[in-house]
Amino acid sequence: MKLISEKGVQRILMLTAFSAISALLLIALFILSEGLPFIFKYGLKDFLFSSEWQPNLGKFGIFAMIVASLWVTFGAMIVGAPLGVACAFFLSEYVPRYIMRIIKPTIELLAAIPSVVYGFIGVMVLAPIIRDNFGGPGLSLLSASIILGIMILPTIISISIDSILAVPQSYREGSLALGATIWQTITMVTIKASKSGIIASIILGLGRAIGETMAVIMVAGNSVNIPHSALDSVRTLTANIALEMSYATGLHRQALFATGVVLFVVIIILNSIASVAIRKRMVKK
Amino acid sequence: MNSKFQIQNLNFYFNSEKVLKEINLEIPANKILGIIGPSGSGKTTFLRSLNRMNDFEITSRIEGKILLDGKDIYNSDFDVVALRKKVGMVFAMPVALPMSIYENVVYGPKLDGINDKNKLSELVEKSLSAAYLWDEVKDRLKTSGMRLSGGQQQRLCLARVLAMEPDVILLDEPCSGLDPISTAKIEDALAQLKKEYTIILVTNNTKQAARVADNTAFFLMGEMIEVGVTKQIFTSPQKSETNDYITGRFG
Ligand SMILES: Nc1ncnc2c1ncn2[C@@H]1O[C@H](COP(=O)(O)OP(=O)(O)OP(=O)(O)O)[C@@H](O)[C@H]1O
Ligand SMILES: [Mg+2]
């Protein structure tokens, strides 16, 4: 009984794959076609390096927001990367495998919590703690970094564990049999052998942190300025787009699209670095 | 005869499967003990229990005593790391660590805190020479150990164990997959090494045991059927199973 021929199946699959890819391409094209003309008109230098963002006066400099995005991402890295990598090593080297196989999917589930929930916790719990103990408005660069740092943990932990488990058992046994402790084995052998995967996990986490919007809007405070301390309120590129798109028109609207172009380029660069790192790991295996 | 290891009533389990049954064995110092037996008879498991590499097998359980120089290595206050420095092991199908040949050899000594460049270079030459590998690699010590051929990696693994200057060397089929010339090299090395070390050699090749071992133990399905001076085991075994195995009638 043959309902659809092999060729037919192939065609249908090709069509689906093609439509998925073309949807992506269309989105990219749309953002570029809306954003690029603005950049040319306004001038790339003024757009990127001026920090005056006053749409009603026709001033569209996103420098403060670029700086804020970079700081928030950097802060998230400081929080998330050491924690995530340490957690990955702990789970894959110190905890019995069967327990790890229970905990890992649980951690991956954290990635499924909507970001608005993370933001909510940030506003209700984290921001007051920061305000009461360190001063400032509470909604700040620091709270955004911590919340984002936690949000990228599942990405970092999960991909790091995969790359640590890909290290051949014979390396571990060889090292342990030479009288190394588990910790010495990690620092002298396992880290080196799983380095590219761990770096990839951090870069993917970084991409996630840069692109995150909802949670950041809720906890970062959103005032447009170059932060002088971690307790200052900041507005990121993503937050800027989300906050103003509902009422922006004309040049203002185009400027938001141009902001999107900047984000798009940054994330493409990060993802390609990550995929090169991951591919390198595959080849080595 | 002073014994290095004394194994008393050793039972070993994976899950509930009894893999080693009531093993009693004295392993004399500065001799080569050959262990022969068919595949799955528990040779590797036995070897790994001597330096507690089975500790990492979560489902494993051990009963009985293993004494090294009179001390029970499974006693809770026995230092496992020190044990592994004292009882070096070359695995079946050994692979180099992902680092240079030089770094592979100095891995153990560096863990011991030896950092003196001259001392390390000396150790490298001495260990590689003892493993009959020095001449082949002396000009490329900085290249990755993983670039070496299988047989060379096997000798590199022997060299890195020698560099730790252990008391005992455990060898799990060190010549599987080696050509006769490399095999002869390793066997020569072992004959030299037993002056300083106690060697336990698991081998699937009964002829090899006959050639190099002073004493030979025969394992079958988790039991140690017989142990004795190699010559006696191969010429007049006490048990019919041993006879069947060495004459190639089964296994
Ligand atoms: N990690 C493990 N988990 C569960 N069972 C194991 C494990 N390792 C070995 N076994 C079982 O223990 C028994 C003995 O295995 P072992 O590796 O000691 O045999 P061997 O004599 O070394 O065989 P070979 O000559 O093939 O290397 C086998 O039945 C094997 O299935
Ligand atoms: Mg074996």
Q: What is the three-state SS of B5-34?
A: EEEEEEEEEECCEEEEEEEEEEEECCCEEE
CB contact under 8 A, B164 and A184: no
Q: What is the pLDDT of residue B159?
A: 93
Structure tokens at A162: 């995969």
Q: Would the pLDDT of B175 be above 90?
A: no
Q: Decide if B62 is inside a domain.
A: no
Chain B interface mutation, best of A92, A94, A98, A178, highest count of B Cβ atoms under 10 Å: A178
CB contact under 8 A, B111 and A98: no
Beta carbons of B96 and B104 less than 8 angstroms apart? yes
Q: Would the pLDDT of B251 be above 50?
A: no
Query: CA-nearest residue of chain A to B111?
Result: A180
Mean pLDDT within A127-145: 93
Count of domains observed in chain B: 1
Q: Would the pLDDT of B1 be above 60?
A: no
State whether the Cα torsion A225-A231-A236-A239 is positive or negative.
Answer: negative
How many secondary structure helices (H) and strands (E) does chain A include? 14, 2
Query: CA-nearest residue of chain B to A284?
Result: B98
Q: Would the pLDDT of B163 be above 90?
A: yes
Nearest to A205 by CA among A280, A168, A151, A279: A151
Q: Using an 8 Å CB-CB cutoff, list chain A residues near B157.
A: 174
- Report the distance separating Cα B131 and Cα B162, nearest Å: 8
CB contact under 8 A, B112 and A192: no
Nearest to A167 by CA among A126, A195, A132, A139: A195
CB contact under 8 A, A171 and B58: no
Mean pLDDT within B36-64: 91
Supply the residue whose CA is at minimum distance from atom 17 of ligand 1: B44
Q: Would the pLDDT of A142 be above 60?
A: yes
* CA distance from start to end of chain A: 42
Least confident range from A211-215, A249-253, B229-233, B240-244: namely B240-244
With a pLDDT cut of 70, the percent of chain B lying above it is 98
Cβ-count burial B117-154 (b if 16+ within 10 Å, e if not): eeebeebbebbbebbbbbebbeeebeeebeebeebbbb
Banded model confidence at residue A18, pLDDT cuts 50, 70, 90: very high
Report CA(A2)–ligand 1 centroid distance (Å).
Answer: 48
Mean pLDDT within A250-279: 88
- The per-residue pLDDT for range B5-18, each reduced to its tens digit, is 999 999 999 998 99
Q: Would the pLDDT of B123 be above 90?
A: yes
Highest mean predicted confidence (pLDDT) among A104-108, A278-282, B150-154: A104-108
DSSP type of residue A281: H
Structure tokens at A94: 């110190």
Distances (CA, A) of B194 to A221, B105, B186, B210: 73, 20, 12, 16
CB contact under 8 A, A177 and B51: yes
Structure tokens at B122: 């000396």
Residue A59, classed as helix, strand or coil, is strand
Query: Which of B91, B99, B108 faces A170 most closely, judged by CB atoms?
Result: B91
Q: Using an 8 Å CB-CB cutoff, list chain A residues near B88.
A: 177-178
CATH number of the domain bearing residue B115: 3.40.50.300
Residue at B42: amino acid letter: G
Beta carbons of B71 and B41 less than 8 angstroms apart? no
C-alpha gyration radius of chain B: 18
**Containing domain of residue B99, as a range?**
29-51+80-246
Q: Using an 8 Å CB-CB cutoff, list chain A residues near B44.
A: none
Supply the residue whose CA is at minimum distance from atom 7 of ligand 1: B14
Q: Is B19 in the pocket of ligand 1 (CB under 6 A)?
A: yes
User: Ligand 1: which atom is nearest the Cα of residue B45?
Assistant: 18
pTM: 0.84
- Report the distance separating Cα B139 and Cα B143, nearest Å: 9
Distances (CA, A) of B50 to A18, A56, A249, B43: 60, 79, 77, 11
Q: Is B216 in the pocket of ligand 1 (CB under 6 A)?
A: no
Nearest to A206 by CA among A272, A112, A133, A285: A272
Please check whether residue B82 touches A, CB under 8 A.
yes
Mean pLDDT within A122-151: 94
CB contact under 8 A, B164 and A192: no
- Report the distance separating Cα B37 and Cα B222, nearest Å: 10
With a pLDDT cut of 90, the percent of chain A lying above it is 79
Chain A interface mutation, best of B48, B97, B169, highest count of A Cβ atoms under 10 Å: B97
Q: Would the pLDDT of A193 be above 80?
A: yes
Distances (CA, A) of B7 to A21, A115, A203, B4, B26: 66, 60, 52, 10, 6
Structure tokens at B156: 């590199």
Q: Decide if B59 is inside a domain.
A: no
Banded model confidence at residue A285, pLDDT cuts 50, 70, 90: very low
Mean pLDDT within B43-50: 94
| Mean model confidence pLDDT for chain B | 90
Least confident range from A72-76, B40-44, B108-112, B183-187: namely B183-187
Bridge partner list, B202: B35, B172
Nearest to B42 by CA among B223, B209, B248: B223
- Report the distance separating Cα B158 and Cα B171, nearest Å: 8
Going by DSSP bridges, is the β-strand pair B17-28/B3-14 parallel, antiparallel, or unpaired?
antiparallel
CB contact under 8 A, A178 and B81: no
Q: What is the pLDDT of residue B236?
A: 86
Banded model confidence at residue A283, pLDDT cuts 50, 70, 90: low
Report CA(A191)–ligand 1 centroid distance (Å).
Answer: 29
Report CA(B9)–ligand 1 centroid distance (Å).
Answer: 19
CATH class entry, domain A62-242+260-284: mainly alpha
- The per-residue pLDDT for range A90-133, each reduced to its tens digit, is 999 999 888 999 999 999 998 899 999 999 999 999 999 999 99
Beta carbons of B127 and B109 less than 8 angstroms apart? no
Backbone angles phi, psi at B186, to 5 degrees: -65, -40
Q: Would the pLDDT of A216 be above 90?
A: yes
Query: Which of A173, A180, A192 faces B98 most closely, judged by CB atoms?
Result: A192
Report CA(A14)–ligand 1 centroid distance (Å).
Answer: 48
User: Ligand 1: which atom is nearest the Cα of residue B42?
Assistant: 18
Q: Would the pLDDT of B26 be above 90?
A: yes
Q: Where are the domains of chain A?
A: 62-242+260-284
- Report the distance separating Cα A144 and Cα A142, nearest Å: 5
Q: Is B160 in the pocket of ligand 1 (CB under 6 A)?
A: no
Q: Decide if B213 is inside a domain.
A: yes
DSSP type of residue B56: G
Mean pLDDT within A17-27: 93
Residue at B236: amino acid letter: S
Beta carbons of B152 and B131 less than 8 angstroms apart? no
Report CA(B160)–ligand 1 centroid distance (Å).
Answer: 25
Query: CA-nearest residue of chain B to A169?
Result: B95
- Report the distance separating Cα A280 and Cα B153, nearest Å: 24
